[in-house]
Chain A
Amino acid sequence: MLLIHCPYCEEERPELEFRNAGEAHIERPKNIAEISDEDFEKFFFIRDNPKGVTYERWRHIHGCARFFNAVRDTVSDRFVTTYKAGEPRVEVERGEDGLVRLTGARP
């Protein structure tokens, strides 16, 4: 069982309290009723599913109940960082040791 840092509870809590909520940073178009089929497809259906760094939404559903964003490395299943919903995408990079860290952070 993983421990996940909840940015609202400000501590690590057991995975059982959380629920994954799909890919992060996909904004619902403000004018959604008017967008083209292609744009709707991109918004609603197309997802990355990368091997490596993935940006996800999680919800601390059995805790503070807040949705938040997380960066996870699907290779190691490690959470790199988590941050509040609405905050800008956090940039990360993979170091020579294979670990993913915040860009600029020291190993």
Chain B
Amino acid sequence: MAKSAQRAQAAAEAIRVEPLLGRISGAAGVSLTPAKPAARVSLRANPVDAKTLSKALGLDLPLKPKTSSANAKGRLALWLGPDEWLLIDESGDPMADLKKVRALHSAVDVSHRNTAILVAGTGARATLEAGCPQDLRESAFPVGAASRTVMGKIEVVIYRSGESEYRVECWRSFSDYAFTFLSDAARDCLA
């Protein structure tokens, strides 16, 4: 028997099981939804090479702290540090796009390391403020702002995707905590 046939016999293709699959929560003023699976890349490079990398990625890598950029296809780049970006893309393959780049960089696939929770509604900011000590007011954290920070007892990346919409990225094994925390905080988000 040929090897490939053997394999087909032995097991079906692997199934993807997201950590927050089926979870849904919220309260008056806010909804909590697991984000769709996405390709994620931890991109590291000297910012002098940002231009070359931006060209390959089809967006302008943000160079100012706490900012982000997005392109029309929904690819997102968050500034996390002076030589660090988090790329999030629900449809494309940023790893593949970066393979062609000769400029010195490190691209590591972290698609499965992180997962994300979408926090939306008039009480979204208050829900986050239950656990995040950062100033999330409009003046300090406008739409498009992104930052690694803490929420309760875990590290998260918060990205403000809209007027009252946020994306909270965290590591996989912390996602249960994150979701439970946000659900608990949601109850008092209209205080």
Q: Which of A1, A14, A16, A65 contacts B148 (CB 8 A)?
A: A65
Task: Answer whether A10 and B80 are a contact pair too, CB < 8 Å, given A62-B150, A63-B147.
Answer: no
User: Are B134 and A64 interface neighbours, CB within 8 A?
Assistant: no
B interface residues, tally (CB under 8 Å):
13
User: Using a CB–CB distance below 8 Å, which chain A residues touch chain B?
Assistant: 1, 8-11, 13-14, 16-17, 62-66
Q: How close is A20's CB to chain B, nearest CB, in angstroms?
A: 16
User: Are B82 and A66 interface neighbours, CB within 8 A?
Assistant: yes
Prevailing SS type, chain B contact patch: strand
User: Are B150 and A17 interface neighbours, CB within 8 A?
Assistant: yes
User: Are B81 and A64 interface neighbours, CB within 8 A?
Assistant: yes
Give the residue name and chain of the A residue nearest to B80 (CB).
A64
User: Are A66 and B81 interface neighbours, CB within 8 A?
Assistant: yes
A-B contact count (CB 8 A): 40
B84 at the interface (CB under 8 A from A): yes
Give the residue name and chain of the B residue nearest to A14 (CB).
B133
Return the CB mask of B142-176 against A: 1 if under 8 Å, else 0.
00000111100001000000000000000000000
B65 at the interface (CB under 8 A from A): yes
User: Are B81 and A65 interface neighbours, CB within 8 A?
Assistant: yes
B66 at the interface (CB under 8 A from A): yes
Give the residue name and chain of the B residue nearest to A84 (CB).
B82
User: Are A13 and B81 interface neighbours, CB within 8 A?
Assistant: no
Report the bound CA distance from A91 to B130 in whole Å. Answer: 39
Would you give 6 A-B contacts (Cβ < 8 Å), ordered by A?
A10-B65, A14-B134, A62-B148, A62-B149, A65-B80, A65-B84
Report the bound CA distance from A63 to B81 in whole Å. Answer: 7
User: Are B155 and A62 interface neighbours, CB within 8 A?
Assistant: yes
Give the residue name and chain of the B residue nearest to A65 (CB).
B81
* A64 contact set on B, CB distance < 8 A: 65, 80-82, 84, 148
